[in-house]
Structure 1
Amino acid sequence: MLISADLVWSRGALRPGLAVETRAGRVAALRPLGADTPDLHLPLLMPGLTDLQVNGGGGVLFNAEPSVAGITAIAAAHRRLGTARILPTVITDTPEVIEAAAAAVIAARAEGLAQIDGIHIEGPHIAPERRGTHDARFIRPLDTRTLAVLARLRAADVPVLLTLAPECCDPALLAQAVGLGVVVSAGHSRADAGQTRAALAAGVGMFTHLYNAMPQMQSRDPGIIAAALLSDAWCGLIADGIHVAPEMLALAMAARPRRDRCFLVSDAMPTVGGPDRFRLYGMDIAVRDGALVNPEGALAGAHVSLLDCVQRLVALTGTAPGRAIAMAGDLPRRAMRLPPLRIARGMAVADLIALDADLRLLPDPVP
């Protein structure tokens, strides 16, 4: 089958005049269309997106179902919405839940579940004052038990993203995590600018959902956000139009010394591709006016897919579509030291998505 498109994502940009040959569910070639007549023509063809922060989907919360079956259901829900690869995200919980989540990811990858690119452990080593919806009962300093989990994951060649508050961690234990090859991200943190710069020097290379669950910038107290923006580290952003105002998204992107150091995450919860409510820490979490809130009205994750975030970033900030697509595909993969998803010989057709001119998902190009 020969598929052409007005624009194809290739080598980090949207390019015209290309066509994809497919055979037996795989890409056989990416080449110029030339004078050939395609079997199918699309507005936009690209690899599926990569989401580094997926708490749940399809009615399943990873913390509640830390199993291969749970991961499979979450990944399938996001695949239907345009996300080809995810890091299932386990948030602050008991050591047993985090260990079960790690074991599930190891098993899923061993079974060949291609959508799982690793694991994101968000907490429990965070600042209680900046915990957000995370349960204070389970917050604790970085310890040898977590380091054992990280070592087990890395021994199984699982990419790991660990979100913690660096000011709350023993520097020696933090160094051990970095030494294992874990991508350490600062988040749910009350660090000041000096503490943040020290964490960056110690190997912290990312910031989790910038602006959220951290003190805001002040003229005489720049804090973690200003230190993050002025660094070369990676910054994740939730572009749902609820967690961060459009102006602040645009400011973060414009302020970076390196243009390519911001990426998008969904922070998706089970309502994405599922029912409009779920249980977290014994609380009812429900969708209200597009936002996920707990009984006190505080935000509890997001009710968006990553493709929703791409569309909203473009619509709310005027970001060029190519840049927004990169922030949900090539850049998060680079941030996690993962190889890019490229349309090339051997790629599974299931990893391709087709979009219309407004970046809305179309049916799979090859059923």
Structure 2
Amino acid sequence: MKQTLIADQVFDGEVFHQNLPVTIDDGHIIAFDTVADIKPVRVNGTLVPGFIDIQVNGGGGALLNADRSVKCIETIGRAHAQFGTTGFLPTLITDDIDVMRTAADAVAQSLSEGSDGVLGVHFEGPHLSVPKKGVHPQSHIRRISDAELDVFCRKDLGVKVVTLAPENVSVEVIKALVAEDVRVCLGHSNADYDTVVAALKAGATGFTHLYNAMSPMGSREPGMVGAAIESRDAWCGLIVDGHHVHAAAAKVAIYAKPKGKVMLVTDAMPPVGMAQDASFELFGTKVIRDGDRLNAITGELAGCVLDMAQAVNNCVSMLGLEFGEALRMASLYPALFIGQDSVRGTLKVGKKADMVLLDSQRQVTRTYIGGKLVYQI
């Protein structure tokens, strides 16, 4: 159904416009002027491109590792839609092969049924480094085998991202994954600089939650962090919640990397969209929420209660970034990383009508996915 929205402001991904009509039909933007036979609807606030999150473990009380079902994925999607996420990759952390298979089945079914916002899947592990495992269970960390390759190389999973430690996966395997349309991210790794560079040359294109769970940069050993910041081509996911990365370190990466190569991620866990006192279990270990911080009872940070709208606002308030650039880090840049910038990530004629309405405090009041209103405050 055709409809025209007129917001106080529209950010198309490049510039802000005042009172620009946006006409949508069949899930896409068809014009930026009022179509004569359509009565425009006035909405108060700023209309911006929908946010894309490539690392979403859970939300709304649901966790993919615990419940590999379409219902779980849709619960996660609804929770994050409240905060402007219009596209996401359900993320499975390190687990056994049967869990990986059933999670892949659920994602494939979600895609075939058109579940709102589901773009593919992110397998964060299990081929990681034990010294940098974080809360990933050591019992499931292992060398890659044909069983995992069969899952990663499925053709019904949409966008496929795999996080791995390059010291534990050969460059030949990385090349094979890339040839099967897998986007290889490096993370949870203690690899030295040369090993990381070799993985990049083999086709790896991303780094998972930069700075966290990876070999640090030193003056004589650049480590994974140094290789990530040095690379002109690779994308870096960044958790801007005030806990995972110091503001100064975040700014160093943003200033050093080419524009467009740092994107926001949430690494979100089940409490997103839940009450302040929500806690949960992860592989039998209780994870405690303390305000906007999650810690396992053993002390490690255990993902986030961060949402994309808050990440955008944190980029402005904590890092001093221009609002438009913070929005691009949540929309255009992840769209570029997953190769969907021709479809989403900006508001342009012909693109999906994935849009978010923000109020004067930059809080989400409406979320549209494919032109459909999926959340309204």
TM-score (norm 1): 0.92
Shift of 1:6: 3.6
Residue aligned with 2:364, SS = coil
Give the conservation status (yes or no) of the 8 Å contact 1:2–1:20: yes
Total equivalences in the alignment: 361
Task: Show the counterpart of 2:165.
Answer: 165
Task: Show the counterpart of 1:356.
Answer: 359
Q: 2:329 aligns with which of 327, 330, 336?
A: 327
Listed as ranges, the gaps of 5+ residues in structure 1 are none
Residue aligned with 1:53, SS = strand
Distance 1:271 1:125 in 2: 26
Task: Show the counterpart of 1:7.
Answer: 9
Matching of residues 25-36 of structure 1 within 5 Å: 29-31=31-33
Distance 2:81 2:295 in 1: 25
Give the conservation status (yes or no) of the 8 Å contact 2:73–2:90: yes
Code of the aligned partner of 2:79: A
Q: 2:301 aligns with which of 295, 299, 302?
A: 299
Code of the aligned partner of 1:14: F
Sequence identity percentage: 36
Code of the aligned partner of 1:263: M
Deviates more, 1:216-225 or 1:86-95: 216-225
Deviates more, 1:102-111 or 1:357-366: 357-366
| 1:134 and 2:136 matched | yes
Structure having the higher helix fraction is 1
C-alpha deviations, 1:174-227, integer Å up to 9, x for none?
A: 221111010000000111111111111111110000000012222222111111
Give the conservation status (yes or no) of the 8 Å contact 1:266–1:309: yes
Give the conservation status (yes or no) of the 8 Å contact 2:104–2:157: no
Give the conservation status (yes or no) of the 8 Å contact 1:131–1:213: yes
Matching of residues 94-243 of structure 1 within 5 Å: 94-152=96-154, 155-156=155-156, 158-231=158-231, 232-243=233-244
Give the conservation status (yes or no) of the 8 Å contact 1:142–1:170: no
Distance 1:278 1:335 in 2: 31
Q: 1:286 aligns with which of 267, 285, 288?
A: 288
Residue aligned with 2:91, SS = strand
Residue aligned with 1:43, SS = strand
Code of the aligned partner of 2:250: L
Shift of 1:26: 6.8
Residue aligned with 2:102, SS = helix
Code of the aligned partner of 1:358: Q
Give the conservation status (yes or no) of the 8 Å contact 1:3–1:42: no
Q: 1:216 to 1:157 in 2, by over 3 A?
A: closer
Matching of residues 32-51 of structure 1 within 5 Å: 39-51=41-53
C-alpha deviations, 1:96-115, integer Å up to 9, x for none?
A: 11111111111111111141
Task: Show the counterpart of 1:244.
Answer: 245
Code of the aligned partner of 1:355: L
Distance 1:135 1:260 in 2: 33
C-alpha deviations, 1:133-184, integer Å up to 9, x for none?
A: 10000000122111100122xx226210000001111332222111101000
Distance 1:24 1:190 in 2: 48
Distance 2:41 2:61 in 1: 37
Distance 1:139 1:39 in 2: 53
Distance 1:41 1:156 in 2: 38
Distance 1:25 1:116 in 2: 15
Q: 1:22 to 1:324 in 2, by over 3 A?
A: same
TM-score (norm 2): 0.90
Give the conservation status (yes or no) of the 8 Å contact 1:29–1:345: yes
C-alpha deviations, 1:335-361, integer Å up to 9, x for none?
A: 011244244567776x32111233211
C-alpha deviations, 1:276-310, integer Å up to 9, x for none?
A: 11110001112114210000221000011111111
Distance 2:300 2:95 in 1: 19
Listed as ranges, the gaps of 5+ residues in structure 2 are none
Task: Show the counterpart of 1:63.
Answer: 65
Q: 1:5 to 1:192 in 2, by over 3 A?
A: same
Alignment RMSD (CA, Å): 2.3
Residue aligned with 1:287, SS = strand
Deviates more, 1:334-343 or 1:119-128: 334-343
